[in-house]
Structure 1
Amino acid sequence: MDELPIGRRVAYWRARRKMSQQLFADQIGKSKSWVDKVERGVRRLDKFSVLYEIADVLRIDVQLLCGEMHRQPDSVNCVDQVEVEEIRAALENYDQVVAFFEPPHVDEVELDELRKAVWHAWASFQHAKYGMVARSLPKLLRDAQSADAAYDEGMVTVTDTGARVNAAHLLAQTYQIAASVMRKLGEHELGWLAADRAIGVSHRAGDPLLAGVATTRVANAMLALGRTRPALDLNVQVAHRLAPSSDKEATPARLSVYGQLLLQGAMAAARGGDLATSRDLLRAADEAAERLGRDANHYWTVFGPTNVALHRACAAVELGEHGTAIGTHEGLDPEAFAALLPERRAHHLVDVCRAYTQTGDLDTASELLVEADRLAPSEIRCRPHAHEVMTGVLRRRHGSPTGPLAELADHLGVAV
C-alpha cells in the first residue's frame, strides 16, 4: 500500500468501506467526477483540509491515507476494527423474531447460492485468507440468518423439510466460520457468541456431527478466555457421546469429528498443565486417525494422522516439553505435511517456533516464522499470537536479526 499513489489508496479504502463513488462523493461534498479523477490520479489531493475530511469519512488515520504510517495493521490481509464492528452488528441480528410478524420470502435459488458462498468462505479460511473471509462475513451472516428464518418450521409454513434442514445447516456453518475467524483475530468474546449460536442451530439441523464440531469452536473460545477446565470438560463430554460403538458407526465423518473433539480436549488439558489427560486424549485421537486411515477434511476438521502429530507437538509446547515438540516436528512425513492446507501448516510452524525459541535455536525459530509467512501471510501478520511469538524471538536474539526476519518484523510493526 505504501507505494501506491494516494488516489489508489482512496479507491482501496472506499471499496473496503463498501462505498460507491457517488456515496463517497456525497459524504465529502464533492462530485462523483471529482472522486473518479482523484482515484485515477488525474486530479491531485494537495489540501490538508480535504485529506482530513476524506480520512474521517473512510474512518482511517490520515497518515495511513497518505502512505506515511510505517506500521500497517490494516493491510489487505487483515481486518480493522470497523470491519469487526460490522460482524458484531450482523451477529446482533434476530431475523427469527421479526419473522413472527412478517414472514420472509422463500427462494430456492438463494439457498443454492448461499451453499456456494459458505463453501467458498470455508475454503478461504483454510487457506488463511482471513481478511477476505471477515469482510464477506456480515453479508454472509445476514443471508444465512434470513434463509434460516424463512425456512424455520416454527415461523412459516414450509412443506420442504429438506430445505429447512439445509438452511439451518448452512447457518450453523456460517456461525462456525465467524467463530473461527474471530478467534484468529483475537476477538474471543465474539468468537464465543458465534460458536454458541452454532450449537443451537446445529441441533435444529438435526446433525450431531455438526453440533460436535460447533462444540470445539465453543471450547476454543473458552480456552482463549482462560476457561481451561470447562473447555476440557466440554470437549471430552461430547467426544464420549460421539465415540463410534461399532464398525458401522465408524464412518469417516464421525471419526473425524470425534477425533477433533479429542484433539481440542488434549490441547485444553495441556494448557491446564494436565499431562496425563492430554496424553490419554492424544492416544485416543491417534486410534481414531488410524481407523480413518489418512488425512481428510470431513466437516472441515482436517483430521487425520498428520494433524494428530501437529497437535501432539503443540501440546508438548504448552506443557514445556520443548524437546518432544521439536522431535515430533522433525519426525513429520514431509509429503503428508505438505499436503495439509496452508492454515494448518502455518499454525504448526508458529507453534514449533516457540519450542525452538525456548531451546535457544533462534536461527531455526526465525526460519520457521519466515516460512509460515510465505505459506499463509495472514496467519502471521493478522494474529496477535504470532506477533507475540515474533517479539519473543527478537528479544532473545543477540545482534541484528537475519534479513528475512527483519523484513517480516518490519511488516508486523514489531521493533527489532
Structure 2
Amino acid sequence: MDELPIGRRVAYWRTRRKMSQQVFADRLGKSKSWVDKVERGVRRLDKFSVVYEIADVLQLDVQLLLGKDPQRRPDSVNCIDQVEVEEIRAALERYDQISAFFYAPPEPPALPEMRKAVGHAWLTYQHAKYGVLARALPKLLRDAQAADTAFAGTEQSSDAAHLLGEVYQIASSTLRKLGEHELGWLAGDRSIAVSQRANDPLLAGTATYRVALALLSMGRARPALEVNVNIANRLAPGGPEDTTAERLSVYGALLLQGVMAAARIGDMATVRDLLTGAEEAARGLDGDQNHYWTSFGPTNVHLHRAAAAVEMGEGRLAIEVHETLNMEAFSRLLPERRAHHFLDIARGYALVGDVSRASEMLLEGDRLAPSEIRCRPLAREVLSDILRRTRGTPPQPVAELAEHMGVGV
C-alpha cells in the first residue's frame, strides 16, 4: 500500500468507503472526470489543501492517504471507524453454508490455529483493546465461518461450530461496546443458532447473555430480562452433576444480566431476587473465575450490585457498595471489568452531584483501560455531564481527556 501512487490510494480508500466516483466528486465539489484522472494518475495532486480536503471527505488520517503511518499522540487510543464497522457487517452477512451446496467450501484454517486465535481475541476484548479487536474481527469471522462450513458433517463439526459461536459472541460484545447495538444483536443471535449445532448448552447460555446485552442496549429491557431469566432457569443447578464451575459461571452471568435489565425497568424486587441467586452461585466457586469468558464470581456480583443501583438512579447506594469492595480481589479482575466499574461509579458520583469524584473515577478507568472510556458512547455521555456541571475551567486531566474524546469543554 505504501508504494502505491497517491491516486491509487485515493481509489482504494474511496472504494472502502463504498463511494462511487460521482458521489465522491460531489462531496469534493469536483467533476467525476477530475476524480477519474486523479485515480488513474493522469492528474497530479500537488496541493496539500486538496489532499487534506480529500482526507476529510474519506474520513481518513491524511498520513494514510500519503502512504505514511498516522501520527498519533503517545497516549491516544485508536477506536473504530465506520469502514471497520462495515467490514464486520459484511463478514456477518456471509452465508457460506448455503454457498457450500453449489461450490467447494474455502480451505479452512486448522482448528488448533483457530482455537488459539479465538482465545487471543477473547483476551483482547477482556483487556479492552476494542480498536485492535475490531480490525481483526472480519478475518476471524471469515476464517471461523469457513471452518464451520468445511467441517460440517465430520467428527470436527461440533468443535468448528463452537469456535464460530465464540467468534460471534466476541463480535457481539465488541460491537455493543462501540455503540453498534443492532449489529451486536445480530452477532449474538447468530451465536445462539450455531451453539445448538455445537451441542453445548453453556455456549448457548452465553450466547443468550450476549443477545440480552444487545437488547438492553437498544432499550429493550423487558425482553432482555425475560430471555436471561428463562435460560438461567434452564441451567439452574439441580444436583451434584449440575454444579460444575462452568455451569455455575454461565448461570450466574445470566442472573447478573437479568439484574441489570430489572434495574432498568425499576423492578427492585426482581433485582434483589436475582442478586441473591447470583450470590449463591458465586459461593459455589473458588473465588472469581473466567469460565466461558464470563469473569463470574463474588467480586463481579458485587460490581453488578453497584451497577444496578446506578441504573435505578441510586447514586449514593452505588457509592456505598463501591466503598465496601474487596480491592485485593478487584485488582485481580481483567481490565475491562475494572474500567467498566469505574465508569459505573463515575455515573454514581455524578448522580449525587460530586463532580470531582466522578472525574476521578473516569480518569481511573481511563488509566486502566483507555478504550473502555474513550471508545464508548456511554463514557462520552458521562464526561459531557461532568463538564456541564463543572464550574469554571475543568482540571487539566479532565480537559485533556475531553480533547482526546472529542467532547467539547
The one of 180, 184, 206 aligned to 1:213: 206
- Closer, same or farther in 2 for the Cα pair 1:50/1:414, shift >3 Å? closer
- The answer to whether structure 1 residue 27 and structure 2 residue 28 are counterparts is no
TM-score (norm. length: structure 1): 0.84
The answer to whether residue 334 in structure 2 is matched with residue 341 in structure 1 is yes
Report the CA distance between 1:47 and its aligned residue: 2.2
Using the TM superposition, name which of 188-197 and 353-362 deviates more: 353-362
Paired position in structure 1 for 2:132: 132
Unaligned 5+ runs, structure 2: 12-44, 67-71
* TM-aligned CA deviation for residue 242 of structure 1: 0.2
Match of 2:274 in 1: 281
Residues of 2 paired with 1:406 and 1:192: CA distance?
A: 34
Match of 2:47 in 1: 47
- Residue 415 of structure 1: CA displacement? 1.5
Offset of residue 48 of structure 1: 2.7
Change in 2 beyond 3 A, CA 1:414/1:26: closer
Pair 28,393 (structure 1): closer, same or farther in 2 beyond 3 Å: closer
Cα drift, residue 133 of structure 1 = 0.4
Alignment of 1:241-260 (within 5 A): 241-260=234-253
Greater relative contact order (CA < 8 Å, ≥ 6 in sequence): 1
Structure 2 counterparts to residues 282-297 of structure 1, below 5 A: 282-297=275-290
TM-score, normalization: structure 2?
0.86
For residues 4 and 89 of structure 2, the distance between their equivalents in structure 1, rounded to whole angstroms, comes to 23
Gaps of 5+ in 1: 1-19, 31-44
Are the aligned partners of 1:313 and 1:329 in contact in 2 as well (CA < 8 Å)? yes
**How far does residue 76 in structure 1 lie from its aligned partner after superposition?**
4.7
Kindly indicate whether residue 86 of structure 2 is the aligned counterpart of residue 85 of structure 1.
yes
Q: Secondary structure at the match of 2:241?
A: coil
Query: How far 1:398 moved relative to its partner?
Result: 1.4
Offset of 1:57 from its aligned partner? 9.5
Moved >6 Å (runs of 4+):
63-66
- 1:271 paired to 2:255: no
Match of 1:6 in 2: none
| Letter matched to residue 254 of structure 1 | R
Q: Is the 8 A contact 1:179 1:194 kept in 2?
A: yes
* SS, match of residue 247 in structure 2: helix
Letter aligned with residue 329 of structure 1: H
Kindly indicate whether residue 383 of structure 2 is the aligned counterpart of residue 390 of structure 1.
Answer: yes
Contact 2:169 2:191 in 1 (8 A): yes
Would the aligned equivalents of 1:343 and 1:379 in 2 still touch at CA under 8 Å? Answer: yes
Amino acid at match of 1:92: E
| Code of the aligned partner of 1:267 | M
**How far off its partner does 1:247 sit?**
2.1
- The yes-or-no answer on 1:145 pairing with 2:126 is no
CA distance in 1, matches of 2:4, 2:218: 40
What is the match of residue 320 of structure 1? 313
Distance 1:395 1:245, change over 3 A: same
User: Given the alignment, which residue of 163, 177, 189 partners 1:184?
Assistant: 177
**Residue 116 of structure 1 pairs with residue 105 of structure 2:** no
How many percent of aligned residue pairs carry the same amino acid?
64
Tell me, yes or no, if the aligned pair for 1:130 and 1:181 is still in contact at 8 Å.
yes
**In 2, are the aligned partners of 1:28 and 1:57 still within 8 Å (CA)?**
no
Instruction: Report how far residue 328 of structure 1 moved.
Output: 0.7
Q: Residue type of the partner of 2:236? A: A
Residue 351 (structure 2) pairs with residue 358 (structure 1): yes
Distance 1:103 1:56 in 2: 42
CA contact (8 A) 2:118 2:166 kept: yes
CA 1:23–1:211 in 2, change beyond 3 Å: closer, same or farther?
A: farther
Q: Secondary structure at the match of 1:186?
A: coil
Q: CA deviation at 1:106?
A: 5.8
Task: Quote the Cα distance in structure 1 between the aligned partners of 2:297 and 2:90.
Answer: 36
Q: Which AA in structure 1 matches 2:266?
A: G
8 Å contact from structure 1 (residues 356, 364) kept in 2: yes
Q: Deviation string for 1:128-174 (max 9, x for gaps)?
A: 00000000000000000010011112xxxx3xx2x111100000000
SS of the residue 1:21 aligns to: coil
1:58 is displaced (CA, Å) by 6.1
Cα RMSD (Å) of the superposition?
A: 2.6
Of 229, 242, 245, which residue of structure 1 is paired with 2:222?
229
Render the CA deviation track for 1:179-220: whole Å, top value 9, x for unaligned: 000000000010000000000000000000000000011011
